Structure 1
Amino acid sequence: MKSPIEVLNAFDAIRPAQAGDGYKPHKPLLLLLSLGRVQRGEPRLAEFTEIEQRLKNLLLEFGPTNSESRRHLPFWHLHTDLGGALWDLSGPAALLNRPAANTPNIGELRANRVAGGFHPDVDACLRSTPGLVAACAHKVLEKYFPGTLREDIAAAAAVDLDEPSWVAEATGTYQVTQPAKRRRSGEFRDRVLRAYEFRCCVCGFDLRIGHIPAGLEAAHIMWHHVGGPDVEPNGLSLCALHHKLFDLGAFTVEPNSYRVLFSQHAVSGERGLSGAMQHHGKAIYLPVDLQHRPAQEYLSWNMNSVFKKPWWTICN
């Protein structure tokens, strides 16, 4: 059986499914779903058909456009990561012995009742080490997703993050403690909010309590954990609501005109038309300093990687 540290390192070593500018969260979402199954004491292996719909729903909500159509890929390709040391497959030998690049389609996985789950050594360690499941979930969430979405993703994947969860090696033993909160540098936030004159660049929200801005956040246009730098051209000053919507891909900012573009997947009632979506087609408030304005390369990344296309047609 693997040690807890070896299991944590295995989760950290998964190859992200990332091609060009596009970010594909298929593997991390499947890992979180599977961690939730372990946490609930469900069987080690699950047929693709058992988890297909839940993975599809996660990709629809938290993935880029059309990512749900490739929901079968992580189920197959996780087996090739780390030489199969993390993910295990069960099914007809003729199918499993295919070259890794010869990926079965969704119909083949269904018809052949292919099942997947953690390798027996990993599964045994996860089930026998208190807090290790939550520790691995924290690692996946912090590595692959922005802070605005982590709790929502964990809830949708049915992973309990509240239990004591960090497994640390000390003098040959393993200790379970509460995970340390990651400290975020306030410098990036301060610089971005100052560049936008302490207001949301979409709706103009600028509430202060005394001299302290309230409900304003510095959003990374290109997410920090995929290489987005802590510089003003990669930041937007957004109220908490628009920050969440931005990271969900409900809207983006057009790289040339700086107009707000809402996704056609964002559906709202009449109140929405006088709320968040009233800003569709309007230019954001821009920093006076040209050097602090959003860079096209970061806005293009967000539009191609996070935004749920297509956007609503602009008539004016």
Structure 2
Amino acid sequence: MCGRLDYFLNAFAKLRTDGSKKNWTSLTYNRSPYKPFLLLTVLDFIESGIIVRNFIEPSFELAQAFQSYCDLLLPPERKASMSYPFYHLESAAFWELKPQPGQQHKKGLAVSSVKRLRQLYLGAKFSDDLYPLLQMPGSRDKLRMVLIEKYFSPEVRQTILERSVLNCQSEIYSTGLLTTQERFPDSDRTMRQSTLVDVDKVRDQGFRKAIVKLYGHRCALCGIKMITPEGHTIVDAAHIKPWSVSQNDHPTNGIALCKLCHWSYDEGLMSVDGNYQVMISPAVKNDHNLPGHILTLSDRPVFKPSESRFWPDQDSLAWHRREKFTKR
């Protein structure tokens, strides 16, 4: 077992990455961080229980988690795509791509988006010798640390490790929100014992994951659903009754809203009535406003999760109508 682990520790330390002082800073030793970031993301998904078999799907959720690592070190204007490292990790002996039925793996393809990657490949798998090691916490931690220490400078290693903890803990918290009737799942109490993680960040990210998943990336008020080829979604996760008032992250106190509806809801220009229909404030019709399609949403049924136990809580909705909604 030790011999196999040593072999893969060496393989993780010798990834083929683009090297250029023009493209990459000293924080990544002037080399591309994309392959290390993808492997760190996959390790997080194994640890948090999202990946439970030897198959890595190029899902939008994986792409979002990969992007969260990129956001730590790359400037906002630099667009990163998980498709590049996912495809090019094939050069490592431990990574095997699985083409879609009717497709064949070809080297040198231009796979420039997650959408294109998903058209060509079902996903990837680790070598049969590596995957059992990744299921063992001790081996997995050693492989994670070799990625962090080999490809990132000392001043950012702690930040990257904290991101890993945040990704894992937020997924555990999100799963807890979807499987318990309590306001605080057991995972909330567990994460409060961690010294590496900001509890509020875990809570925010876990709540967002749960709500966006329940609503299928669709705005509850207007019904819009838009996901970019890289998996970025138009919807936010909003508390019906704010956390500062309720300390309640249960999904029934949450709702998925697009950017416009989220702002309108927070400003009291939109709400939801006792029959789960959209309410539009008369203030929207002020002379200087050009509300566009917003007025057409009045009295339309809201889009709700498929399971009624996750529908918005009527007491919370009543609080919003009473405390936030502008009635004139």
- Global fold match (TM > 0.5): no
The structure that is strand-richer by fraction is: 1
Q: TM-score, normalised by structure 2?
A: 0.42
With CA pairs under 8 Å and 6+ residues apart, which has the higher RCO, 1 or 2?
1
The structure that is helix-richer by fraction is: 2
Larger Rg: 2
